[in-house]
Amino acid sequence: MKTKFWILMVMMISIIFSTAITLAEFFPDEKEIQLLEGENEILIPEQVSPFYVGDLIKSYPEILMVTYFEFEEEKGYVNAFGGIGEDFIIYPNQKYNITIGKNMGVKLR
């Protein structure tokens, strides 16, 4: 009787773990945002961890410029000469303007 119980418990735990792994594949950690050529105003999803704009531009050199407003003052970072401007942190639930030269997708973590 005890042997059947333990076999059943091991099977149920295996099913739970395999289901969790399968579901994790359907919900990836990265969020992809589709950007169109020109200026795009985007709201960074709340699931994304903060990151530096310089790291974003290193990953996507097609990005020409990223700007945002802070206390009614526009601040930005331009992808030229290794980066012009302050290498600011991009936070979730904030709006940013991203200017690009061609349509592309950007994956955020």
Identify the CA nearest to 105 among candidates 54, 37, 48, 52. 37
More confident: 98 or 28: 98
Quote the domain boundaries for residue 74: 31-108
Looking at the domain assignment, is residue 19 inside a domain?
no
Looking at the domain assignment, is residue 3 inside a domain?
no
- First-residue to last-residue Cα distance in the chain: 49
> How many domains does one find in the chain?
1
Instruction: For residue 109, name the pLDDT band (cuts at 50, 70, 90).
Output: confident
Looking at the domain assignment, is residue 101 inside a domain?
yes
Residue type, 24: A
pLDDT tens-digit map of 20-56: 666 555 555 556 789 999 999 999 988 888 999 999 9
| Residues 6+ away with beta carbon under 8 Å from 54 | 77, 83, 87
pTM to 2 decimal places? 0.69
Looking at the domain assignment, is residue 17 inside a domain?
no
Looking at the domain assignment, is residue 55 inside a domain?
yes
| Tokens 């589709």, located at residue | 34
Looking at the domain assignment, is residue 38 inside a domain?
yes
Looking at the domain assignment, is residue 43 inside a domain?
yes
